[in-house]
């Protein structure tokens, strides 16, 4: 449970940028919901574009905050675990938001 809390600390630093990227992609696609016909093509493109943007975000974070990883290594988390954990948290939260939005949009 402690590594998850530590991962959430890192996610709080990156979430404004990652959420903004996800929401802008969703809005640019015409905010498709799981009930719409456009949802499956959107999810495929979103997954690949979001993965590429996450790599860029992570690279920029590494360049600007290299000393910050000492804190996370103390808890036994590698950079790969941190990057994949942040990506999974972001995808899960975005999926939850899209599902909740689908209740109100259509």
- Report the distance separating Cα 40 and Cα 38, nearest Å: 6
- Report the distance separating Cα 32 and Cα 26, nearest Å: 7
> Quick one: tokens of 103?
């209740």
The pLDDT value given to residue 92: 92
Express each pLDDT in 34-65 by its tens digit. 888 888 888 889 999 999 999 999 898 888 88
pTM: 0.84
* Sequential DSSP letters for 38-91: THHHHHHHHHHHHHHHHHHHHHHHHHH-GGGHHHHHHTT--HHHHHHHHHHHHH
Token pair 């992609």: residue:
25
């Amino acid at each position: 449970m402690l590594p998850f809390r530590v991962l959430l600390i890192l996610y709080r630093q990156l979430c404004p940028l990652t959420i903004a990227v996800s929401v802008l992609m969703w809005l640019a696609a015409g905010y498709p919901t799981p009930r719409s016909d456009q949802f499956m093509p959107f999810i495929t493109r979103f997954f690949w574009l979001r993965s590429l943007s996450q790599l860029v975000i992570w690279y920029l974070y590494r360049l600007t905050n290299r000393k910050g990883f000492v804190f996370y290594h103390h808890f036994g988390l590698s950079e790969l675990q941190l990057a994949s954990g942040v990506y999974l948290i972001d995808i899960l939260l975005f999926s939850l938001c899209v599902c909740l939005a689908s209740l109100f949009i259509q």
